[in-house]
């Protein structure tokens, strides 16, 4: 009887190990690119921090839904990567002033970085950094206004869209053509040439887009 129990236990353990191996072998690992924009913001790069604020600011409900990502025609790996990075809490109310996505705003590093920027420290004393607060408000208002225009299906220029959204998508490793698909899925009817021209203008003026950008997705 004791021998049978030991045999049954060993067989059950072997079967469990086999199921675990089978389950693990079926998973497809998605490699996320380094989050360089957040890393720069953590190091005290104000321009990087404000670029993230622009992207995450809104007057209105979710700017990117799973349905939009599906309509964009992106490949499965890219769509899963974006769905994990851009998930927001559902909210059906228009806001009377710009607000920032709580999933972003609630991250510990964001709170610590904001606290660093908010204060001028002189002689061991802290005073509000009024100049930064003005730039923070401008960045949040700019991002929220773009989202509101998209939400209301109003006209949006490629340059305005690129300034608010391009740094974030470039940071996530999307090619320019993939980013254009996202813009079109949001309802922006940009032509390819005018969109890429806006990207080139932005990239010349803004080092946050990185030294090298891909026009087409990786193979």
Does residue 14 belong to any structural domain of this protein? no
Using one digit for the tens of pLDDT, what is the confidence trace for 114-132?
999 999 988 888 899 999 9
Task: Could you list the beta-strand ranges (E) of the chain.
Answer: 57-58, 99-100, 119-122, 125-128
Does residue 26 belong to any structural domain of this protein? no
Quote the Cα angle for 50-207-41, to 5°.
35
Residue 215 in this model has a pLDDT that exceeds 80: no
Burial of 37 (0-12, 13-18, 19+ CB in 10 A): buried
Total number of domains in the chain: 1
Domain holding 64, by residue range, is: 33-209
- pTM exceeds 0.85: no
Does residue 122 belong to any structural domain of this protein? yes
User: Among residues 4, 121, 97, 114, which one has the least CA distance to residue 48?
Assistant: 114
Does residue 214 belong to any structural domain of this protein? no
Q: Tokens standing for 11?
A: 């067989």
- How much is the mean pLDDT over the chain? 76
User: Among residues 44, 54, 181, 175, which one has the least CA distance to residue 117?
Assistant: 44
Does residue 159 belong to any structural domain of this protein? yes
Does residue 27 belong to any structural domain of this protein? no
Does residue 3 belong to any structural domain of this protein? no
Does residue 215 belong to any structural domain of this protein? no
Using one digit for the tens of pLDDT, what is the confidence trace for 41-60?
999 999 999 999 999 888 76
């Amino acid at each position: 009887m004791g021998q049978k129990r030991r045999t049954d236990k060993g067989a059950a353990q072997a079967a469990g190990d086999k199921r675990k191996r089978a389950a693990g072998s079926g998973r497809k690992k998605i490699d996320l690119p380094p989050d360089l924009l957040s890393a720069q913001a953590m190091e005290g790069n104000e321009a990087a921090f404000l670029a993230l604020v622009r992207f995450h600011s809104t007057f209105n409900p979710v700017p990117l839904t799973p349905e939009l990502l599906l309509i964009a025609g992106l490949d499965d790996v890219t769509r899963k990567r974006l769905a994990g990075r851009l998930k927001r809490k559902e909210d059906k109310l228009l806001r009377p002033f710009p607000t920032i996505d709580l999933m972003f705003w609630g991250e510990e590093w964001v709170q610590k970085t904001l606290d660093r920027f908010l204060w001028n420290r002189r002689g061991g004393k802290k005073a509000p950094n009024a100049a930064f607060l003005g730039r923070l408000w401008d960045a949040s208002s700019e991002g929220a206004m773009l989202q509101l225009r998209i939400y209301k299906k109003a006209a949006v220029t490629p340059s305005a869209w690129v300034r608010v959204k391009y740094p974030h998508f470039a940071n996530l490793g999307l090619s320019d053509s993939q980013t254009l698909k996202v813009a079109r899925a949001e309802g922006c009817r940009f032509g390819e040439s005018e969109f890429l021209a806006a990207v080139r203008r932005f990239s010349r003026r803004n080092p946050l887009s990185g030294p090298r950008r891909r026009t087409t997705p990786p193979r």
